[in-house]
Chains A and B, each alone.
Chain A
Amino acid sequence: MIVAHGIGGVRDLPVPEWLFFWGAAVVLIVSFVALGALWKRPLLSLRTDGRPAPDRLSRIVLATPLRVALQAVSVALFALVFAAAVVGVTDPFRNLAPTWIYVDFWLGVPLLSVLFGNVWRALSPWRALADLYVWVRERLGGEARPLADYPAAWGRWPGAILLFLFAALELAYSDPANPRALALAIGLYSYVALFGMAAFGREPWTRNGEAFAVLFGFFAMISPWAVRDGRLRVRIPFAALSTRDATPGTVAFLAVMLGSVAFDGFSRTTGWQNLVSRVEAPYIVDNPRLGELLVTGLHLGGLVLACIAVAAAFIGACAVAQDMVGSSRSLTADFVLSLVPIAFVYEVAHYFSLFLTQGQFTFPLLSDPFGRGWDLIGLADYVPNLAPLSPDAVWYVQVGALVSGHVAGLAIAHDRAVTIFEDRNAALRSQYAMLALMVLYTVGGLWLLSRG
């Protein structure tokens, strides 16, 4: 089976060539206009904290009852999805779990995070369970203390590895939408998430090891909302990304984010499909299991290569930038967060139409989560519109998203450069390599969308 997105039967038509060239041309023109015309003094990095939001709004949004209510709903949904994966029918299109995980969760939460900030704090079922455990423990007069301090040297590596494993399940495993496989994955991941929080504390593990929390946390940095010292704050969107982040494993994490989406696009090019077909064909009749295993290995190799390529391009560009300004310290920590908007728009460009089409199946599936012919909320007969948008509309959103992400990435890297280099010429020189890198990512992304 050719794995596409984990689930979904309709795929976007490739972006037509003329639009690809227009997109690429706009990217280049914007980039060079930007270099000459962008601000000379830091704008974003001075405003990463934003200003306090109105008191009343802050109190409502951060009210404990609201959070607890959301956490309760989240745990209930988690239990439902897990149950569907364990006991529901194995047809992925009649079971709630695959659509919920690969569409609603995987694409919906990033969107919520970008719009409303770090919503995963209230929506994570694992965090909710951990909070509940600590609350009960303290109620009983005990104390919930982590077993160990989180080793600072690990940084975000555990998160990067776990995110890679999720990407491997989605894009390399031969049957990613199989509910039973998902049940196993949910079980294993939940164990790791709960164990991680028990071992190192809820906050340290959430910040570094809980792959989804780290991912959604990055996306939330795009949003205008932040919470500090229990207060809601408003800031310029993207401003939080104009900061230095020297946490180990951050480049690896972002490389997995970008690389996995890029590989998802690449794995659907005819060339790759033919390669897979050639590898699998000799075994398909006599030993299909072996054929499947080989194909999974091939996909896994492609996925690893895509992540390495993304990371190598970034590290290389930072090294060139460092060389051009004659800086003594590495610049990767300074520029790494400028990749976040690019990672987000990659996701949007590749998955938003899947979200709109396959996402509609959530209604009938919630009504009949196990595929047993139930109709719990009266929506079992809901008929999705499989073409809610015309192909042109899809193309424009895709190209528009990539170009906007490019502009945002450039602006952040630029702001960072004028923050760290007093000399404006040095700041400009450090940007040539970053600019080339982002042009590479964006035009590469456009190219993948224009392939069939």
Chain B
Amino acid sequence: MTLRMLTALALAAAGFALAVTACGGDDDSASPATTATTTSTTTETTTTEPTTTAPTTTTVPTPSVKTFTIVVANGRPQGGIKTFTAKQGEQVALVVRSDTGESVHLHGYDLEQPLRNGRTRIVFRAKIPGRFEIELHESDILLGNLQVEP
């Protein structure tokens, strides 16, 4: 009786576990897809940025600066809010072009740079691991998240 009940329970548990993993799996397939797109865009920007910055600045580009570009139009970051991933210790350049706002603020690191002609660039070393919001001030619009992984 109790044995039968336990086997029934175990079966139910297995079913539930499967269901959970299945749903988790769904979310998984969704989330890597999104992270994949963000990483692909970030790698895109990292590969394109040095070529664009190098000729304009004409100085030797510092090696391994990870550049993330956010373009804001009509109060929204283009392509939605993304999470940009960097490794701890990496040099990061945050490039923002925006048609509104006065400055860009990176939480946690507490870096703020004014927008000049609708552009700004924040360069820093990603020392603190965690997730940090990138915001446009004064309007406090969220532009994206910076994720620094150890």
On whether A24 and B150 interact (CB within 8 A), knowing A13-B130, A277-B76, A282-B75, the answer reads no
Check B142 against A1 for contact (C-beta < 8 Å).
yes
Check B147 against A13 for contact (C-beta < 8 Å).
yes
In the complex, chain A residues whose CB is within 8 Å of the CB of B74 = 281-282, 284-285
In the complex, chain A residues whose CB is within 8 Å of the CB of B16 = 28, 436, 439
Distance from A98 Cβ to chain B, minimum over Cβ atoms (Å):
14
Interface bits A106-119 vs B (CB < 8 Å: 1, else 0) = 00000000000000
Check B131 against A11 for contact (C-beta < 8 Å).
yes
SS of B interface (majority): mixed
Chain A residues 235 to 278 lying within 8 A of chain B, measured CB to CB, are 270, 273-274, 276-278
In the complex, chain A residues whose CB is within 8 Å of the CB of B31 = 451
Check B9 against A32 for contact (C-beta < 8 Å).
yes
Chain B residues 99 to 134 lying within 8 A of chain A, measured CB to CB, are 100, 107-110, 128-133
A170 at the interface (CB under 8 A from B): no
Stretch at the interface among B39-47, B52-60, B61-69, B77-85: B77-85
Q: Which residue of chain A is the closest to B130 with respect to CB atoms?
A: A10
Check A2 against B75 for contact (C-beta < 8 Å).
no
Q: Which residue of chain B is the closest to A389 with respect to CB atoms?
A: B129
On whether A9 and B108 interact (CB within 8 A), knowing A270-B81, A285-B100, A447-B24, the answer reads yes
Q: Which residue of chain A is the closest to B3 with respect to CB atoms?
A: A36
B36 at the interface (CB under 8 A from A): no
On whether A9 and B110 interact (CB within 8 A), knowing A2-B142, A452-B147, the answer reads yes
* Interface size in chain B (residues, C-beta < 8 A): 43
Check B150 against A391 for contact (C-beta < 8 Å).
yes
Check B81 against A274 for contact (C-beta < 8 Å).
yes
On whether A443 and B76 interact (CB within 8 A), knowing A387-B128, A452-B131, the answer reads no
Q: Residues on A close to B: CB < 8 A?
A: 1-2, 4, 9-14, 17, 20-21, 24-25, 28-29, 31-32, 35-36, 93, 174, 270, 273-274, 276-278, 280-285, 288, 291, 386-387, 390-392, 428, 432, 436, 439, 443, 447, 451-452
Q: Residues on B close to A: CB < 8 A?
A: 2, 5-6, 9-10, 13, 16-17, 20-21, 24, 27-28, 31, 34, 74-77, 80-83, 100, 107-110, 128-133, 135, 139-142, 145, 147, 149-150
The 10 tightest CB contacts between A and B, nearest first, are: A284-B75, A1-B140, A9-B107, A9-B108, A281-B76, A11-B131, A281-B75, A10-B108, A10-B130, A273-B81
